């Protein structure tokens, strides 16, 4: 089948907000260390020696969620210069691993972390009630991605299956059996989704899977991209905001950046490998010019995609890779481990910003 027509221009998808600069000079050498950070203790504190969190930011950049081994979900309101907790929701029976906002601001989908029930759950934050259970996986869910234009989402599990779901139905709509740990992602327009495993990324047209029918996804990829022979476990696959680029992180500590239309490998960045129980997170800046990534030693690195050079790094005393999200359309990124930290530049020290006033 013909691949869907996707738009390349940034402005047609999600414009950067006025606070943001056209070029992210905040990441260049010379500005390193001029960031300041607001930190919060993890919800419920540390338990059983684990401090790993899952993190999700809303489109309006006013709310975020932090998930810890407490176990539960902490809903936060981020407003400069303070960040306050709006609500903490416990999930002692099931535990909480991955979590994501739906298109409705008061509902989330999250995966379990209790080792015996791998169901996904649609939860109302308003009254703390489960709206639907999504049963189908038989091992830990390691990837969760929601579609921007429909009530669909994808999940990937260590049971070597990728399931396609509709939020209105408790049974999966599609099944893909993979040979390894999978990573999944929708593009920003919700037109396609990617499934990465075994050193390649498979691209699917999401419009072929929008009816309440059971599909075999093996019949559906319209493109398969190789990532240069890196067959280590896939951790995270993501699209840039404009859909032109995509990245893939792997267990061996590699961050691959590709052209999402041609599949051309544009660059590979190396960090410390992560353990089999951890996830190497990475994220594009809103303008798609930079990639920020965690590392197996807990550090954070930033690269300029055009030059391929490292432009900033922040060392850490922790030994686990942090969860990293770049807030949509903003000069702020967030890291989470034993603390939740909001990183923003001191704009008064940016000559480019002062010159625009």
- Which residue range forms the structural domain that includes residue 308? 25-41+270-357
Q: Is residue 285 part of a domain?
A: yes
Q: Is residue 8 part of a domain?
A: no
- In this structure, the number of other CB atoms found within 10 A of the CB of residue 39 comes to 12
Q: Is residue 78 part of a domain?
A: no
Residues of the chain with pLDDT under 50: 8-51, 59-63, 67-70, 80, 212-217, 353-354, 357
For the purposes of burial, counting CB atoms within 10 Å of the CB of 315, is it exposed (0-12), middle (13-18) or buried (19 or more)?
exposed
Q: Collect all residues with Cβ–Cβ distance below 8 Å to 270 and sequence separation of at least 6.
A: 253, 254, 255
Collapsed DSSP state (helix, strand, coil) of residue 262: coil
The reported pLDDT for the residue numbered 227 is 81
Q: Is residue 14 part of a domain?
A: no
Nearest to 172 by CA among 154, 145, 151: 154
Nearest to 324 by CA among 336, 316, 312: 336
- Over residues 38-93, the pLDDT tens digits come to 334 444 444 344 445 566 665 444 445 554 444 556 655 555 455 667 777 877 77
The reported pLDDT for the residue numbered 295 is 93
Spell out where 127-210 has E strands.
Answer: 129-134, 141-146, 152-157, 161-166, 174-177, 183-186, 192-197, 200-205
Q: Is residue 243 part of a domain?
A: no
For the purposes of burial, counting CB atoms within 10 Å of the CB of 192, is it exposed (0-12), middle (13-18) or buried (19 or more)?
buried
The reported pLDDT for the residue numbered 61 is 40
Q: Is residue 36 part of a domain?
A: yes
The total domain count for the chain is 1
Q: Is residue 316 part of a domain?
A: yes
Q: How high is the mean pLDDT of the chain?
A: 75
Rg (CA), the chain: 19
Q: Is residue 146 part of a domain?
A: no
The reported pLDDT for the residue numbered 230 is 83
The reported pLDDT for the residue numbered 332 is 80
The reported pLDDT for the residue numbered 81 is 52
pTM over cut 0.75: yes
């Amino acid at each position: 089948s013909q691949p869907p027509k996707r738009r390349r221009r940034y402005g047609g998808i999600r414009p950067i907000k006025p606070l943001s600069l056209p070029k992210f000079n905040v990441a260049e050498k010379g500005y390193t260390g001029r960031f300041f950070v607001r930190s919060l203790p993890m919800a419920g504190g540390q338990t059983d020696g684990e401090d790993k969190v899952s993190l999700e930011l809303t489109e309006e950049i006013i709310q975020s969620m932090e998930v810890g081994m407490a176990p539960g979900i902490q809903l936060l309101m981020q407003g400069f210069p303070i960040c306050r907790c709006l609500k903490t929701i416990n999930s002692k029976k099931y535990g909480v691993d991955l979590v994501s906002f739906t298109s409705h601001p008061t509902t989330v989908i999250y995966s379990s972390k209790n080792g015996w029930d791998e169901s996904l759950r649609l939860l109302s934050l308003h009254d703390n009630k489960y709206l639907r259970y999504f049963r189908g996986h038989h091992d830990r869910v390691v990837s969760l991605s929601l579609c921007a234009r429909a009530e669909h989402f994808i999940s990937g599990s260590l049971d070597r299956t990728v399931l396609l779901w509709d939020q209105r139905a408790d049974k999966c709509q599609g099944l893909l059996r993979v040979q390894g740990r999978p990573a999944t992602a929708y593009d920003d327009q919700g037109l396609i989704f990617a499934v990465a495993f075994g050193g390649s990324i498979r691209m699917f047209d999401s419009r072929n899977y929008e009816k309440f029918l059971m599909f075999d996804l093996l019949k559906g990829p319209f493109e398969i991209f190789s990532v240069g022979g890196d067959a280590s476990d896939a951790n995270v696959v993501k699209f840039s905001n404009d859909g032109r680029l995509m990245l893939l992180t792997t267990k061996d500590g590699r961050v691959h950046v590709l052209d999402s239309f041609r599949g051309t490998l544009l660059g590979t960045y190396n960090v410390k490998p992560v353990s089999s129980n951890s996830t190497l997170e990475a994220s594009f800046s809103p303008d798609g010019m930079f990639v920020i990534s965690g590392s197996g030693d807990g550090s954070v690195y930033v690269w300029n995609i055009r030059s391929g050079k490292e432009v900033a790094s922040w060392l850490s005393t922790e030994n686990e890779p942090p969860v990293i999200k770049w807030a949509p359309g903003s000069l702020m990124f967030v890291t989470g481990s034993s603390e939740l930290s909001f990183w923003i530049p001191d704009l008064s020290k940016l000559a480019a910003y002062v010159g625009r006033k």
